[in-house]
């Protein structure tokens, strides 16, 4: 097969050389509300085409590579005094996989444990290309049974932060402590 980025022959959908030279993560930090931060590994512009792979059958392989390069490395350097749970925001499936579940899985470490299917939206709304006003009027209406946990929220992309803040609010109502959120990319940078 050919590498998606350089088109050289490769055994992987993105060759090792491109992973090493083109996909090294940079840490972006954005405050969403007073004292609550989202951390991203790429700017949206850097990996836009790769993020859009979630709409295709090969997206799981691309997300696995991006998660290994960013989320997995983050998890290996993270420590906390109690167990922290990685919760993917609305782990619905496309083409038999969930991109947020792939990201959460790569946070598995001594201090972080992924929990799957714990935060589901009752209202399936597509936010792609929609403005902040639309997002505020059409909330996702998340549901969860999680209580009294330390949590890292996980999503693939942050644009306005509306979804993350809505998820945070629902989880906090159940007594959970949301430490921060992690996304692959930030559309602001």
Give the model confidence (pLDDT) of 81-108 as tens digits: 999 999 999 876 555 678 999 999 999 9
Would 6 be classed as within a structural domain? no
Q: What is the pLDDT of residues 2-37, one digit of tens each?
A: 999 999 999 999 999 999 999 999 999 999 999 999
Would 19 be classed as within a structural domain? no
Q: Quick one: pLDDT at residue 14? A: 97
Count of structural domains within the chain: 1
Would 20 be classed as within a structural domain? no
Q: Which long-range contacts (CB under 8 A, 24 or more apart) does 135-142 make?
A: 135/160, 135/162, 135/163, 136/162, 139/166, 140/90, 140/166, 140/167, 142/89, 142/90, 142/166, 142/167, 142/170
Question: What is the rounded average pLDDT of the residues 64-70?
Answer: 97
Would 98 be classed as within a structural domain? yes
Would 12 be classed as within a structural domain? no
Would 155 be classed as within a structural domain? yes
Would 13 be classed as within a structural domain? no
- Residue 111's domain is classified under what CATH number? 3.40.50
């Amino acid at each position: 097969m050919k590498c998606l980025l350089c088109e050289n022959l490769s055994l992987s959908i993105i060759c090792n050389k491109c992973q090493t030279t083109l996909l090294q993560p940079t840490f972006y930090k954005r405050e969403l509300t007073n004292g609550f931060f989202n951390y991203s590994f790429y700017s949206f512009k850097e990996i836009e085409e790769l993020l859009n792979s979630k709409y295709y059958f090969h997206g799981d392989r691309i997300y696995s590579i991006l998660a290994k390069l960013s989320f997995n490395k983050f998890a290996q350097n993270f420590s906390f005094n109690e167990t922290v749970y990685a919760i993917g925001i609305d782990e619905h499936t496309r083409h038999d996989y969930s991109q947020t579940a792939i990201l959460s899985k790569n946070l598995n470490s001594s201090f972080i444990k992924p929990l799957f299917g714990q935060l589901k939206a009752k209202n399936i709304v597509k936010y792609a290309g929609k403005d902040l006003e639309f997002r505020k009027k059409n909330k996702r209406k998340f549901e969860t049974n999680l209580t009294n946990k330390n949590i890292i929220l996980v999503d693939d992309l942050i644009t306005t932060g509306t979804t993350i803040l809505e998820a945070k609010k629902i989880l906090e109502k159940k007594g959970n402590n949301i430490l921060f959120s992690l996304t692959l990319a930030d559309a602001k940078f």
